[in-house]
Structure 1
Amino acid sequence: MEFAIFFIMIVFVSIFQIAVPFFVKRTVVFGVTIPYEKAQYKQIIRFKRIYATVTSFVSILITVLFIGWSRGTEQNETEIVLTGIILPFIILMTGLTLYFYFHFKMQRLKKEQNWYSGIKQVRYADLALRSKDEMLPTPLFMVPSIISIALIILTASLYDQLPAQIPTHWGPDGQPDAFTDKSWMAGLGLPIMLVILQWMFVGINYFTKQSGIKINAGNVSSSKLRQLSLRKYTSWFLFVVSIVITLLFSFLQLNLLYENLFQDSWIMITPLIIMTILLAGAFILAVKVGRIDSDFEGAQVLEGNSKVEGLDEDRFWKGGLIYFNPEDPSIFVEKRFGLGWTMNFARPVGYFILLGPVALIIIISIFIV
């Protein structure tokens, strides 16, 4: 089971890393803003192909080595877990290293070619576009917390019958492999952490919904479609993640409250089902968003006057990955490499939304152990 989980993870990470330069929006190449008309520039195409080729080679090599290693010798669970974590990390670091290499190459190319010379940069706004936004309503994200509160109440009522040793960690096969002495914090830890995560999702969806819809004046139609698609499907994906995490935590908590409630086969297969749902959701998100206003869209579509483009915001992006713009009221903005959202690090509210829940969970974990 552990082999299957990590094999699927390696394959997914490999495919995602290979494809990522091709499904980001056309006006951003390795974190650098370019005009629409330069999207098919031969040097840019060459950079992307080199990235994909090298990443593919490393990914195939790691996948083959993982299969050969797992089949060649006997390994214990710890060795498989460590190897299954390290190998995807190597693929990610390979992609990140290539990203930075081509990021600086693109910066140099853009400066040498002076692509924005003679191009008017404008900020495009469409006040009617909000009415077409299909992000899920934030109150919907509060619904899963009802389950968490019910788990807290149920656990409190059944506290006396809990075992003397409470599980604190589960291995990839769904079986507990670490325990702590019985206490109120140990018994209620999982549902409390679940509530914190659920309300973090509430905050992320709310402030993402309030964020600006950035339209590129160089290609208004495709830019609108991408923004609406990004907002809609990331909202749905976030909700699926919230539901899946709720089901997983509820499964573990109920198994603690009612010994032998679930058969061993369910305990074995649950992690694989959870991971499959999440990866499938991520794949659907990549397809739905990545096929719009990107290389996957097919023929490049140019509208109107090529002498008009959206704002070049490279100065607000550190390395093309970290966004710091005090002038932008948005808490979350579209990533420049990958799919989804990243935080505007110039807005303190974002730290509270993302780091606050993480800090609380760490504190609770310390008290449990």
Structure 2
Amino acid sequence: MTWFVIAFPLVTLACVALLLLLMPSITRQTLPLGVSIPQERVGETVVTASVRRYRAGVLGSFVTAVILTLLLVSTAPVAAVIVPLFVFLLLSFGAYWLCRARIQRAKRDHNWYQDVPVRLSSTLTATGAAQRVSTPIGWYIAGVVILAAVAAVGVGRYDALPSPLPIHWNSAGVADGFATKSVWSVFGTLLIGIGMLSFLYLFARLTSRIPMRRVADYTVEQQTSIQQLMQSMIGQIAFVLALILSAISLHGWLAPEATGWAVAISILTPVLIFALIGVFVVRQRRVVLQVSVTAAGMVPQSGTPTRADSPDDDRYWKAGAFYLNRDDPALWVPKRFGVGWTVNLGHPAGIAILAIPVLIVVGVLMFGPGGVRLG
């Protein structure tokens, strides 16, 4: 047993738990736990109590997962990385489901939306073009430059590389997977990196050009700022992935027996990605609070909203996370619980957008370096 077997699952669990605990704070106040409520009901006791119970459930799930990790590390190190995270997510989702059901029940029993004016705002018109955000191409160029520089190192060392070539390392950082030296086994990781950067760039460009649904309780400036933050985060994640894949390639070429390198890469990968998401969450929250303060007239001191609410469309949100509305022409809609946007699964392109990343991951696992080799 190595310290990596303990550190990696615990670090991953802590990062995921922190994000889940923060979610109610970064979600719009009119969407507690993904349930649509009028602005005048934001402070209801059942709402605040349900959010507290949800957070308590996440903390309890985290403690359970940590205990399970410590029990498994000495007997089943591989299971210690996978099983506790699965159990944690399952228990946390159960807490989310039960707590949001209490809010839904109160909303239904007391007719919270009765006589409440609603408005569905949208940028699905020509006016949305003025609010189009830009894609920060610099992050993608930097990622390609790094991958190209590392590829140049590989070209220079190609003849000196051993065959078979180490392509996989176990939890102790020791090489346990090898492949015959070839262009694919040497440069496959970098080629996958180019493919991932290309996909993320095209995805970012697509989301920057397709008009996004704007909700009634967000101003145009607020939503534009959040979209721009999302564009920056996608670019930063692409750059970090390029760094990680470059480090993996250099490790295999220059120091395949350096166990510390493999362990460091495995630990830093989730930490860096979750750190980027955390920075986005903080910056998004700052935008929401700043705009809320400047638009304080939205809810006067009397407590009566002056701006129309978003409609009660809970019926289109499955588990508060998946949007399915075949009558809605919008492809992208704001998430109910979380940050950013999600696709409308009722839109013809919605399923395809979700399927492409899954197919890419399956393809990498099946046919990437160290994957399944036919014949």
Indicate the TM-score class for this superposition, using the shorter chain for normalisation.
0.7 to 0.9
- Asked if 1:85 corresponds to 2:82, the answer is yes
Distance in structure 1 (CA, Å) of the matches to 2:340 and 2:171: 27
Q: Which amino acid aligns with 2:282?
A: V
Instruction: Give the stretch that moved more between structures: 37-46 or 3-12.
Output: 3-12
Quote the offset at 1:154 in angstroms. Answer: 6.3
Distance in structure 2 (CA, Å) of the matches to 1:132 and 1:363: 36
* Residues 234-266 of structure 1: CA deviation (Å, up to 9, x unaligned): 222222221111111112223334x33896544
Quote the offset at 1:323 in angstroms. Answer: 1.3
- Higher relative contact order structure (alpha carbons within 8 Å, sequence separation ≥ 6): 1
Against the structure 1 CA distance between its residues 354 and 159, is the aligned structure 2 distance closer, same or farther, given a 3 Å change threshold?
Answer: farther
Aligned to 1:346: 346
Aligned to 1:193: 192
Q: Which amino acid aligns with 1:275?
A: P
1:25-174 pair list within 5 angstroms: 25-63=28-66, 66=69, 69=71, 75=74, 79-124=76-121, 136-137=135-136, 141=140, 143-148=142-147, 155=154, 159-172=158-171
* Residues 302-358 of structure 1: CA deviation (Å, up to 9, x unaligned): 268557222333233222211123454544333212223322223444544453354
Q: Which amino acid aligns with 1:310?
A: S
Give unpaired runs (5+ residues) of structure 2.
none
Quote the offset at 1:216 in angstroms. Answer: 3.5
- Aligned alpha-carbon RMSD (Å): 3.6
Q: Which amino acid aligns with 1:243?
A: F
Instruction: Give the stretch that moved more between structures: 20-29 or 53-62.
Output: 53-62
1:134-283 pair list within 5 angstroms: 136-137=135-136, 141=140, 143-148=142-147, 155=154, 159-172=158-171, 175-217=174-216, 219-221=217-219, 224-225=221-222, 227-257=223-253, 259-260=254-255, 265-283=260-278
Aligned to 1:324: 324
Please say if residues 31 and 337 of structure 1, whose CA atoms lie closer than 8 Å, have aligned partners that are also in contact. yes
Distance in structure 2 (CA, Å) of the matches to 1:177 and 1:336: 43
Aligned to 2:282: 287
User: Which of 9, 15, 19 is equivalent to 1:12?
Assistant: 15
Distance in structure 1 (CA, Å) of the matches to 2:234 and 2:65: 30
Against the structure 1 CA distance between its residues 151 and 75, is the aligned structure 2 distance closer, same or farther, given a 3 Å change threshold?
Answer: same
| Alignment coverage as a number of residue pairs | 357
Give unpaired runs (5+ residues) of structure 1.
none
* 1:30 alignment partner, SS class: helix
Identity %: 22
Q: Which amino acid aligns with 2:187?
A: L
Against the structure 1 CA distance between its residues 92 and 249, is the aligned structure 2 distance closer, same or farther, given a 3 Å change threshold?
Answer: same
Please say if residues 146 and 243 of structure 2, whose CA atoms lie closer than 8 Å, have aligned partners that are also in contact. no
Please say if residues 197 and 238 of structure 2, whose CA atoms lie closer than 8 Å, have aligned partners that are also in contact. yes
Against the structure 1 CA distance between its residues 262 and 354, is the aligned structure 2 distance closer, same or farther, given a 3 Å change threshold?
Answer: farther
